[in-house]
Amino acid sequence: MRSGQENESPEDEAFALLDFEALVGRQSRFVFQVAYAMLRNSHDAEDVVQETFLSLYRSGAWRKINDERAFLARATWRQSVDRLRANPRRAGLHNTEDNATLLLELPSRESDPEQTLLEADQRAAVHRLIDALPEELRQPLALSTVQELNSREIAAILDIPEGTVRTRLMRARQMLKQKLSAQVEVRHAN
């Protein structure tokens, strides 16, 4: 990796751009998944991916990265949290156009249209329940869905102990199960 972005020759700049291009090619999908897990909106997630890479390019910090995945995941998480704080209404699948798209794309084992709609309705209910979780429980659960992110990496991103991540994941799942079972009981009663 080269350093000294201000006083570098055109040849160095070209090499740096190639390095940056390789970094984007390697990690853009991962960065998008982290952003999408946090924001649940593909357009917002793409914006966050671009902001993350551009801020890295501006600062030149990408030249000194040791662990690319951890660094990028942390940077993306911060950008996502800033976006959520700036506009909390945009967060959440049930408020966006992704809701319908996701429900239609989900695979269905049943060929019965009524059953398909029922499953889609159940998944939408699960998504709503996930979105309604407290942020301290929702964020570890959402990040756990990103490929190859284990508890240690999630702990590094959120800057909390690894044990806390596991505890929060367990609590989130228990809370979801309780609410889901309550909803199913209500439906069966109706």
Q: Which residues bind another protein (CB under 8 A)?
A: 6, 13, 17, 20-21, 24-25, 28-29, 32-33, 36-37, 40, 42, 45-46, 49-50, 53-54, 57-58, 98, 102, 105-106, 122-123, 126-127, 130, 141-142, 144-147, 173, 176-177, 180-181, 184-185, 188
Nearest residue (CB) to another protein, 69 versus 127: 127
Give the integer Cα–Cα distance in Å for 36 and 44.
8
In the bound state with another protein, the residue whose beta carbon lies nearer, of 49 and 155, is 49
Nearer to another protein, 122 or 164 (CB): 122
Cβ atoms within 10 Å of 74's Cβ, excluding its own = 17
HSE-up of residue 167 (Cα within 13 Å, Cβ side): 6
Q: How far apart are CA 32 and CA 44, in angstroms?
A: 10
- Name the residue nearer to another protein (CB basis): 122 or 167: 122
Q: CA torsion sign, 94 to 96 to 97 to 101?
A: negative
For helices 68-86 and 42-59, what crossing angle results, to 10°? 120
